[in-house]
Structure 1
Amino acid sequence: MKNYVIGLDYGTDSVRAVLVDTGSGEELATDTFYYPQWRDKKYCNAAINQFRQHPADHIEGLEKTIKGVLAKTSVDGSAVKGICIDTTGSSPIAVTKEGTPLAFEEGLKENPNAMMVLWKDHTAINEANEINELARTWGGEDFTKYEGGIYSSEWFWAKIAHVIREDEAVKNAAYSWMEHCDLLTFMLIANQDLASFKRSRCAAGHKAMWHESWGGLPPKDFLNKLDPYLGELRERLYTETYTSDEVAGNLSAVWAEKLGLSTDCVVAVGTFDAHSGAVGAKIDKHTLVRVMGTSTCDIIVSEQENVGDKTVRGICGQVDGSVIPKMIGLEAGQSAFGDVLAWFKDVLNWPLENLVFNSAIISEEQKAKLRDEIDKDFIKKLSEAAEEIPLSESIPIALDWINGRRTPDANQELKSAITKLSLGSKAPHIFKALINAICFGSKQIVDRFEEEGVKINSVIGIGGVARKSPFIMQTLANVLNMPIKVASSDEAPALGAAVYAAVAAGLYPNVIEASKKLGSDFEAEYHPEPEALETYAGLMEEYKELGAFVENNINRKSTVNEL
């Protein structure tokens, strides 16, 4: 009898399920569900960088996508042996003692602070600054040292501190807090004891300052100095954490019936999407995997003896087992990648939305057709025009900090900037400048890893941007001066989750062996163009100069004025 596993990948906009034959490694079916309340921008306020999601979207998506892949293949649900869930992170949510999200509790159902606080939410900048200041001055261990030495407003403790200071009702109602990947895993399993539930090593180590050397989470006396609530909360969280090749529990009878699966199906410990994507892309030593979508996550693994006690400054953490058990997973990334281009598209769309699509001259049918045509060709036409611009032609210089800077050296207060505009600067010139900027931001990350002694021999790109934009990938190869392979699967993170599920179910002995069989193949490879290297090296220096000016002058003045 054939065996199957399901990987679930929760991204920013949608959840995707993939059904995999564990014998052949074939992706039999995929299914996608877009979050309806998120699409309607509910609970969000971009003006203050508030981005929240209702867990009802995620639960509905789980049921629909799993049923969807089964329906597309007619696979018997009893043959599905394992499930694993990856999500964005850090995306914490407040829960009751029973593990129910506060978003489902009376009186809190429409409260943004009771929703999941999405990774890209930057409302906790002040709290992150407090954590960094305390870590350096409190007289004890610096608990940020395995997280790059700088704690981000995108992460667990900062977000919780912000919410509970802002909202007394949520503070009083919350028994505990869970990362998104933990919440959904807990929801599926039969054992509903929150105290004994196996929390994700990946989430805890990269975002919650968990480390074995100090006994797990930061101690109560440290957290009390931030806020007494956090010290009390620590007692209701966890001490141990687990890698995603381990079993969190068996599928509950309720969910088995809902999904058409068996209670013999195991649910693996949850993880983050980028780390899972690296596994789905067959990550190996000295290979940097770039998960390229709305933002990027950059993942590399190293043997424990190569890293030792050395801490890599300015990244998003180094965690034993966060990618491959018994290897150190190192994470970096950009707060905006595809989002930079999406912002520019929104800017150019303004006259269309407010003039053309509100016009009485054209019919509603014509408007709908025009909207579809523009959506289909917008980025494609800009890319083609930008690619035609000669290297010798003057191009503006832009920064990719449209949503702050994640790495190197997290600073979510930073804002983007653009210079060298002229009367000759048309939309393709600005678009090319933005593509250059996201590639220069990538180069800064690669340079930081190498400066810190982390060897990189090759780069793998996964995600929508990697597969759909040859122009961006060629530019990136030129800027990095490295070849880049592109994974052929659209679902590398979901595939990585399937790999973890297969190991947890006992179908493979370890993650590396399972990844070789179930991971994605490669469909393209981009090589640096020798004639372009000097030009891009010069533009990179201009990017660095602009970045230093903005960070040391404009951003510093803005911060002082806010104070």
Structure 2
Amino acid sequence: LWKDHTALKEAEEITTLASGWEPNYVKYEGGAYSAEWFWAKILHILREDAGVLRAAHSWVEHCDWIPALLTGNTNPATLKRSRCAAGHKAMWHEEFGGLPSEEFLQRLDPLLSGLRERLFRDTFTSDIPAGRITPEWADKLGLPYDVIVGVGAFDAHMGAVGAGIKPYYLSKVMGTSTCDMLVVSEEDMGDKLVRGICGQVDGSIIPGLIGLEAGQAAFGDIYNWFKQVLEWPLINILKSSELIDDKAKYALIQESSKQIIAALNKEAAKIPIDESGIVALDWMNGRRTPDANEALKGAITGLTLGSDAPRIFKALVEATAFGSKLINDRFIEEGLRIDGMIALGGVAKKSPFVMQVVADVLNVPIEVSSSEQACALGSAMMAAVASGIYETTAEAQQKMGGGVETEYLPIPDNVKKYEILYKKYLRLADYMETDLTVH
């Protein structure tokens, strides 16, 4: 759902209006609103679908709806809303008295008139019980009737908890996209406002700490896109071949599809860093952070007649690593620090080549969480705190965490080479954004 960027116009309108408003409602959202978030999607739907406009009474985040369903409290006026979702995506903040004002929303679009009072004022961190499971759901799931259901949160944020996030250790969920998260004490955070990220929210990850979120709109999706490009002739030409039967065609396509990424990883790892001359840009799905701009496009430059699939793939991997460095650099530029990194998700588990490139580009040791389901584990940790089994999130992490599976250390010679290549990436990024972006 977040990946749909059709609400880009609405996001731009929100950013423009909020930036000149007092208070500035996007100041805790990195200074810009995104097409991936709550208000932009609501407004876009209301403008585009008259049926929804007539029928809709309120709007509920998915992570709020599931606990509501499990506890039987599905009234939008009374169900408990997630601090994580509200703070990062709905411009909720205690300083504002909750959500943006009615005046602001009416100025944005009269279609939003009256909606604020049908939403919520209070939000809750995930160590708070949402309620007890209903008998109906307890029976369906085979659970006791006294099970406590905690307040929801976004999957990535709970993944950070499950992977063992702690202050100044960046937790990076690495899958189709990435979500990069830090937790910092209120004292250390002070009055810092980090530009260009997806928000800084009290308790969005660990209660009592400020949770900061950033991320890339495409990571593993870029590798999968390239895989699909390579698969096109295999799938489309082989289908019409009369040389083999349909069963053999299917088996061949399936076998090749499973091996493409692994084969590319293996061959790309053999290519010297500065050999190919190819530089790519990872904005195939726009740029989430730093400085959200979903209208941006990706690029692959420096191609020659000798540029083969492994070399192009290596450049794409390097581009995703450089995109990660943009995020790390922004946190550091804004007065925070990164003492280490904890990685989780499919890419972190499956691709040593990608992980080594990222470690070399970032020049930071990267620990990979041992958990196969860190998001589910983090949810269980928070539920254990909500149920009173553990007093704090840190205690739940210590008792329930699985530790580190492996660690990737930067290779000094590679770090130096990537510093040079990163400068080329920055020049390409600047050119694409300033000269080639169609507004």
Q: TM-score, normalised by structure 2?
A: 0.98
Which of 236, 240, 262 pairs up with 2:122?
Answer: 240
1:11 aligns with: none
Task: Write the deviation string for residues 207-249 of structure 1: whole angstroms up to 9, x where unpaired.
Answer: 0000001100011000111112323111110000000011001
**In structure 2, C-alpha distance between the alignment counterparts of 1:457 and 1:132, rounded to whole Å:** 32
Which of 55, 62, 65 pairs up with 1:180?
Answer: 62
Q: Does 1:131 align with 2:38?
A: no
Shift in Å at residue 358 of structure 1? Answer: 3.2
Q: Does 1:291 align with 2:177?
A: no
1:121 aligns with: 4
2:397 aligns with: 515
Q: Which runs of 5+ in 2 are unaligned?
A: none
1:202 aligns with: 84
**In structure 2, C-alpha distance between the alignment counterparts of 1:160 and 1:535, rounded to whole Å:** 46
3-state DSSP of counterpart to 2:28: helix
What letter corresponds to residue 18 of structure 2 in structure 1? Answer: A
3-state DSSP of counterpart to 1:546: helix
What letter corresponds to residue 232 of structure 2 in structure 1? Answer: W
What letter corresponds to residue 259 of structure 2 in structure 1? Answer: D
2:343 aligns with: 461
**In structure 1, C-alpha distance between the alignment counterparts of 2:227 and 2:276, rounded to whole Å:** 22
Which of 374, 378, 391 pairs up with 2:260?
Answer: 378
Shift in Å at residue 518 of structure 1? Answer: 1.1
Distance 1:240 1:374, change over 3 A: same
**In structure 1, C-alpha distance between the alignment counterparts of 2:397 and 2:346, rounded to whole Å:** 21
Task: Write the deviation string for residues 272-317 of structure 1: whole angstroms up to 9, x where unpaired.
Answer: 0111011001111110000000000001100001112221110000
Task: Write the deviation string for residues 307-335 of structure 1: whole angstroms up to 9, x where unpaired.
Answer: 12221110000000001111000000000
What letter corresponds to residue 61 of structure 2 in structure 1? Answer: E
1:389 aligns with: 271
3-state DSSP of counterpart to 1:486: strand
Shift in Å at residue 187 of structure 1? Answer: 1.1
More strand by share: 1
What letter corresponds to residue 484 of structure 1 in structure 2? Answer: I
Contact 1:483 1:528 in 2 (8 A): yes
Which of 148, 165, 168 pairs up with 2:30?
Answer: 148
Contact 2:162 2:377 in 1 (8 A): yes
Contact 2:234 2:253 in 1 (8 A): no
Shift in Å at residue 360 of structure 1? Answer: 2.3
Distance 1:163 1:192, change over 3 A: closer
**Greater Cα offset, 357-366 or 201-210:** 357-366
**In structure 1, C-alpha distance between the alignment counterparts of 2:180 and 2:274, rounded to whole Å:** 31
Shift in Å at residue 376 of structure 1? Answer: 2.2
Q: Which runs of 5+ in 1 are unaligned?
A: 1-117
Contact 2:160 2:378 in 1 (8 A): yes
Shift in Å at residue 380 of structure 1? Answer: 0.5
1:230 aligns with: 112
What letter corresponds to residue 147 of structure 1 in structure 2? Answer: E
Contact 2:65 2:74 in 1 (8 A): no
**In structure 2, C-alpha distance between the alignment counterparts of 1:143 and 1:231, rounded to whole Å:** 17
Task: Write the deviation string for residues 374-428 of structure 1: whole angstroms up to 9, x where unpaired.
Answer: 1221101011111111234123111110100000000001011111011111111
**In structure 1, C-alpha distance between the alignment counterparts of 2:75 and 2:197, rounded to whole Å:** 34
Spell out the pairing of 1:479-490 with structure 2 (5 A cutoff).
479-490=361-372
Spell out the pairing of 1:135-534 with structure 2 (5 A cutoff).
135-138=18-21, 140-534=22-416
Contact 1:395 1:430 in 2 (8 A): no
3-state DSSP of counterpart to 1:176: coil
**Greater Cα offset, 217-226 or 359-368:** 359-368
Contact 2:60 2:76 in 1 (8 A): no
Task: Write the deviation string for residues 83-110 of structure 1: whole angstroms up to 9, x where unpaired.
Answer: xxxxxxxxxxxxxxxxxxxxxxxxxxxx
Distance 1:191 1:426, change over 3 A: same
Spell out the pairing of 1:15-164 with structure 2 (5 A cutoff).
118-138=1-21, 140-164=22-46
Shift in Å at residue 479 of structure 1? Answer: 0.1
Q: TM-score, normalised by structure 1?
A: 0.77
**In structure 2, C-alpha distance between the alignment counterparts of 1:216 and 1:199, rounded to whole Å:** 12
3-state DSSP of counterpart to 1:177: coil
Task: Write the deviation string for residues 492-521 of structure 1: whole angstroms up to 9, x where unpaired.
Answer: 111000101111111111111001111232
3-state DSSP of counterpart to 2:282: coil
Task: Write the deviation string for residues 113-164 of structure 1: whole angstroms up to 9, x where unpaired.
Answer: xxxxx011100000001001101234x2110000100101111000111010
Task: Write the deviation string for residues 153-203 of structure 1: whole angstroms up to 9, x where unpaired.
Answer: 111000111010001101111111111111111111133433111100000
Distance 1:122 1:392, change over 3 A: closer
Contact 1:495 1:520 in 2 (8 A): no
Structural RMSD (CA): 1.0
What letter corresponds to residue 175 of structure 1 in structure 2? Answer: H
**In structure 2, C-alpha distance between the alignment counterparts of 1:164 and 1:304, rounded to whole Å:** 37
Contact 1:150 1:409 in 2 (8 A): yes
Shift in Å at residue 526 of structure 1? Answer: 0.7
What letter corresponds to residue 234 of structure 2 in structure 1? Answer: L
Contact 1:395 1:432 in 2 (8 A): no
